[in-house]
Amino acid sequence: METINDRIAWCVKDSNLTKTAFAEKINVSQSFISRLVSGEKVPSDRTIADICREFNISEVWLRTGEGEPHIQRDEDAEWQEVLAQITVSDDEVIRRIIKAYWFMNEKEKATIRKLIDGFTEQKK
């Protein structure tokens, strides 16, 4: 991958999202992503930062091609990011779920954990 545009095209493919869905994640239009991928446009610093943040991409790799594409994050860092997103989200359902779980007894929590484990196994 010679250019930053090639690496952005790789990021789109690696994300397993359509160009439209990829664009929505970083708050740009699908046509802008298409122009980036084709080399017609050069990404702004903000676009680069948004791609790196949303898709866990190394900024050094995206800009230069040096190193590994993905940043390895530990579970604590990932959890902190999820909590930060929940905090600023207007998704009242997720807040109610977390609050309800927090006040459950241990037997109820065990039931919920089994249910969640079943969902995550299906996704693998």
**CA angle (6, 33, 52) in 5-degree steps:** 70
Per-residue pLDDT of 98-123, as tens digits, reads 999 999 999 999 999 999 998 877 76
Residue 22: the pLDDT is: 97
Residue 8: which of 82, 40, 81, 78 has the closest Cα?
40
Cα Dmax for the chain: 58
Residues 60 and 85 in one domain: no
pLDDT in tens, 2-28: 999 999 999 999 999 999 999 999 999
Q: What is the CATH number of the domain that holds 32?
A: 1.10.260.40
Average pLDDT over residues 74-78: 79
- For residues 1 and 55, the model is more confident at 55
In a domain, 69, yes or no: no
| pLDDT band of 124, cuts 50, 70, 90 | low
Average pLDDT (52-79) is 90
How many other CB atoms sit within 10 Å of the CB of residue 6?
Answer: 13
Tokens for 56, please give them.
Answer: 């866990």
What is the number of domains present in the chain? 2
Q: What is the per-residue pLDDT across 40-54, written as a single tens digit (0 to 9) for each? A: 999 999 999 999 999
Domain match, 96 and 46 both? no
**pLDDT value of position 83:** 86
Q: 80 and 34, same structural domain? A: no
Euclidean distance between CA atoms 37 and 4, whole angstroms: 9
Question: Which helix (H) or strand (E) element contains residue 13?
Answer: helix 4-15
pLDDT the model gives residue 123: 65
